[in-house]
Structure 1
Amino acid sequence: MRNRLVLIALIGLGINQSYAQQQAAYTHYMYNTLVINPAYAGSRDALTFTALGRFQWVGFKGAPTTQTFTVHTPIARKNIGLGLSLVNDKIGPTNNTAVNVDFAYRLKLSEKARLCFGINGGFNSFSAEVDNLTLADPTDAAFLTNRRGKMLPALGAGIYFQMPNFYVGASVPSILENNLFANGTSNSMDISKERRHYYLIAGAVFTISPSVKFKPTVLGKLVQNAPFQLDVTGTFILRDLIDLGIMYRTGDGVGALLGVHISKQFLFGYSYDWSAGVRTGKSNGGSHEIMMRYDLLFNNDDKIKSPRYF
């Protein structure tokens, strides 16, 4: 178990400039879009609240846990979207909290198509509690002192094209590559540094019958010194009440999703995925996600009658 803690610490701290994927992965990425693309703000034509909790590698001590909360709405005749994104991500002894304000300009191309441009800005708060770890080398400079609440600026951008039955977007939710901390030597090298992540997201809805629709979605993520990762999800929507989906994540594993439309405004989702493609899959009980989304509609019956699938 001690070896596992050291492994988690190394992953979280990025020792010896070993840069890997730092931003959290979400099985419910298709419902958590604002976290990765600020251009999504206001796209549901409602005041939308979304909360998500991810519990990864259950049973593996020090495993990642992530909580997100977003709220966004259109304003100014729906040409502007405003949002707020909160993310708390913990892995082993490290914790990162991000707060961002999202702004989107929504250009109406036709009655059914919009092209949206977005930016976000805010801050990340990074901390690392490393003094209780058991180390192979007790003199390792990276683990001598805790790092508490270092505030880092954040800036991101994205583009998002939407139609009632199709969307595609690209984004860089964190452009800045901040130094988390250095080793403190005279020829100091950064031992942990943020890396820029690039995202591509797309999805569509196809009507199979009056009561069944099929929604394929994809999410691609690219970051330096890590393999390109692709999430592919296929979801069947039954009578606009139940969503049943399966997911495959390259280099990681597979998963299943369940969504329940408690009302036309309230969606509850649950997913389970198993890291079959990595070593941790043998040492944990898989990963769970719980998601809730609520659309507050402003006396607009048309939107209640016409479900939004994205």
Structure 2
Amino acid sequence: MKRIQLIFIGMLAAVTSLHAQQPLTHTQHGQLRTVINPAASLMRIDGEVSVIGRRQWVGMDGAPTVFWGSGHIGFENFSATTGISIRHESMAVEKLTEASAFFAKSVRISETEYLGLSLNAGFSYMDGRFSQLDPMDPAFREDVQETDALVGFGVMLYRPERYYVGLSLPRLMLGNLGVGGESRYNFRNLYHLTAGALFNLGADFQFRPSVLVTYSESLRPQAEASALFFVKRVFGIGLNVRSYGELAGMAQFNFAGIGLGYSYQFNPGSEPLNRRISNTTHEIGLSYRFDRALELL
């Protein structure tokens, strides 16, 4: 039984090592932006709480799972927000937890446009239980528990309910967490470029496209685009396309300040992966806006 478990985990490690060349991001970046760029909290200055979960390769133990969470309150008189962001990833015997606090401030640069800046600081904690694979095998190293500090920043140009363009570095590592080891996580600095817009197609229909580009010095750049069509700002349906071939169907519901999103992602060209495990990924996002408005951007 032990050998079967090792073969199983070894197969997962081989597949995830290929996948680790891509950053783990969520498809609902057009709706839940603060976890990518804290400066986006200024677009919802009355305050918001959001959480999103992503489960890859459903049905396989140890497959990548990611949770993001954020919450902020606003100070409208100062055009500022403050809040926290949390991220937790798990893959096989490794886990990564990040938490940071942020402060954001906007400046009005024209009659309708604003420039927002944010700063964040926190920590990253890695927990690698490598001895669980086989403590008697020297090929597997000892357990690793490491903590490191991180800082970050974000900038965003936006016009409320019309468009936004942002650049963020939410994780600037101050140490060497995970560097040079056998971890399948990547702790290098991550950069995100985001953009989105909202178009009114008459009184009852809206169209919201958005893009996300993620870059790290040790990962292949990843680009993706999403597009959702909404009916009376309440129900939206659309598609997400990634640069490595993944496709996702998306749905969004908005009601009384509550936003509920779901996406089903798969890679239609990943035949080798399909022979081993399912490449299906499920993603659920939930948010609550304190002002209970039906704004889409």
Contact 1:19 1:224 in 2 (8 A): no
- Mapping of 1:233-248 within 5 angstroms? 233-248=226-241
What is the CA–CA distance in structure 2 between the aligned matches of 1:96 and 1:236, rounded to whole Å?
A: 35
Pairwise CA distance, 1:158: 1.2
Pairwise CA distance, 1:5: 1.5
- Mapping of 1:183-262 within 5 angstroms? 190-192=181-183, 194-262=187-255
Q: 1:58 to 1:104 in 2, by over 3 A?
A: same
Q: Residue 121 of structure 1: SS of its match in structure 2?
A: strand
Pairwise CA distance, 1:109: 1.9
Contact 1:27 1:247 in 2 (8 A): yes
Partner residue of 2:268? 276
Contact 2:54 2:65 in 1 (8 A): yes
Q: Residue 42 of structure 1: SS of its match in structure 2?
A: helix
Q: Residue 34 of structure 1: SS of its match in structure 2?
A: coil
Partner residue of 2:288? 294
Q: 1:291 to 1:19 in 2, by over 3 A?
A: closer
Q: 1:49-91 CA distances to partner (integer Å, 9 max, x unpaired)?
A: 1011111111233111111211012215142121210111111
**Within the alignment, does 1:309 sit opposite 2:296 as a pair?**
yes
What is the CA–CA distance in structure 1 between the aligned matches of 2:7 and 2:176, rounded to whole Å?
A: 27
Number of aligned residues: 288
What is the CA–CA distance in structure 1 between the aligned matches of 2:42 and 2:273, rounded to whole Å?
A: 38
Partner residue of 1:122? 122
TM-score normalised by L of structure 2? 0.88
Higher mean C-alpha displacement, 108-117 vs 211-220:
108-117
Pairwise CA distance, 1:247: 0.6
Contact 1:41 1:102 in 2 (8 A): no
Listed as ranges, the gaps of 5+ residues in structure 2 are none
Of 158, 164, 180, the match for 1:162: 158
Q: 1:94 to 1:234 in 2, by over 3 A?
A: same
Q: Give identity over the alignment, percent.
A: 23
Of 148, 151, 160, the match for 1:152: 148
Q: Residue 44 of structure 2: SS of its match in structure 1?
A: coil
Q: Residue 137 of structure 2: SS of its match in structure 1?
A: coil
Contact 2:45 2:76 in 1 (8 A): no
Listed as ranges, the gaps of 5+ residues in structure 1 are 183-188, 298-302
Pairwise CA distance, 1:112: 2.5
What is the CA–CA distance in structure 2 between the aligned matches of 1:57 and 1:109, rounded to whole Å?
A: 45
Contact 1:19 1:195 in 2 (8 A): no
Q: Residue 61 of structure 1: SS of its match in structure 2?
A: coil
Letter in 2 for 1:95: K
Q: Residue 40 of structure 1: SS of its match in structure 2?
A: helix
Pairwise CA distance, 1:257: 0.8
Q: 1:11 to 1:97 in 2, by over 3 A?
A: farther
Higher mean C-alpha displacement, 169-178 vs 189-198:
189-198
Q: Residue 39 of structure 1: SS of its match in structure 2?
A: helix
Letter in 1 for 2:263: S
Partner residue of 2:168? 171
Pairwise CA distance, 1:177: 5.9
Q: 1:28-47 CA distances to partner (integer Å, 9 max, x unpaired)?
A: 12223222212223321211
Q: Residue 173 of structure 2: SS of its match in structure 1?
A: coil
What is the CA–CA distance in structure 1 between the aligned matches of 2:78 and 2:112, rounded to whole Å?
A: 13
Contact 1:205 1:309 in 2 (8 A): yes
Q: 1:180 to 1:47 in 2, by over 3 A?
A: same
Q: Residue 30 of structure 2: SS of its match in structure 1?
A: helix
How large is the Cα RMSD of the aligned pairs? 2.6
